[in-house]
Amino acid sequence: MKFAKFALAGAAAAGLAIASFTAIPTFAKEEMTVEVGGAPMFPSKNIIQNAVNSKDHTTLVAAVKAAGLVDTLQGKGPFTVFAPTNDAFAKLPAGTVDTLLKPENKGQLTQVLTYHVVPGRLSAQELMAMTKKGGGKASLKTVEGEQLTIQEKDGAIWVWDAKGNTAKITIKNVMQSNGVIHVIDTVLLPS
């Protein structure tokens, strides 16, 4: 009987110890990811580290490598990148991507790619606020040097290029350690 009481008391104490141990909160922070191209995009990683995992951005990644912009987009930033999908590149006239990827066209490719990049980290909320402040539209100066125009319509954010092409932001606020990516459905072209 004494042994049974001792065993029960020991079991109870062990149970309390386990319960109190499991009740200790953990402080490990789980990253809030957005899935792009079938892969989680981690806010602790930079633009390139995340983009290479998106199966929807293989053309963009190949173009960034061909233009020699990997180190730039891995840099401190911050950058806002309007990232066209493979389907967006496929909308270009036949042969355009292959032509741009040729070494002799590196300058033109760089111009097109840097036209998709704006200095700073501009969230969708900030873009919307800019359009409201601008009476429905706002201009953004790209790293390439020309302007993009943004507009809110039917709850979506649209980006207009210098040639009048329009891209819709399909996935917004993909936060990166060195900026933010907004996925778009059309390649933007400078004048």
DSSP calls for 82-104:
EEE-HHHHHTSPTTHHHHHTSGG
Query: To the nearest whole percent, how much of the chain has pLDDT over 90?
Result: 80
> Hey, what amino acid is at 101?
L
- The CATH code of domain 33-184 reads 2.30.180.10
CA distances from 80 to 121, 152, 187 (A): 5, 17, 15
Quick one: pLDDT at residue 12?
40
Give residue-wise pLDDT tens across range 98-127.
999 999 999 999 999 999 999 999 999 999
Mind listing the pLDDT tens digit for each residue in 77-106? 999 999 999 999 999 999 999 999 999 999
**pLDDT at residue 32 in the model:** 80
pLDDT of residue 18: 37
Measured between alpha carbons, how far apart are the two ends of the chain, in Å? Answer: 92
Is the confidence at residue 57, as pLDDT, over 60?
yes
Confidence label for 175 from pLDDT (cuts 50, 70 and 90)? very high
> Among the listed ranges 1-10, 33-42, 59-68, which one has the minimum average pLDDT value?
1-10
What is the chain's alpha carbon radius of gyration, rounded to the nearest angstrom?
24
Indicate if the pLDDT at residue 70 is higher than 80.
Answer: yes
Supply the pLDDT for residue 30.
62
Whether the predicted pLDDT of 62 surpasses 50: yes
pLDDT of residue 145 exceeding 70, the answer is yes
Nearest Cα to Cα of residue 181 among 54, 49, 82: 82
Bond before 103 cis per omega within 30 degrees? no
**pTM confidence score:** 0.82
Average pLDDT, the chain: 86
C-alpha neighbours within 13 Å on the C-beta side of residue 117:
19
Segment 53-69 mean pLDDT: 94
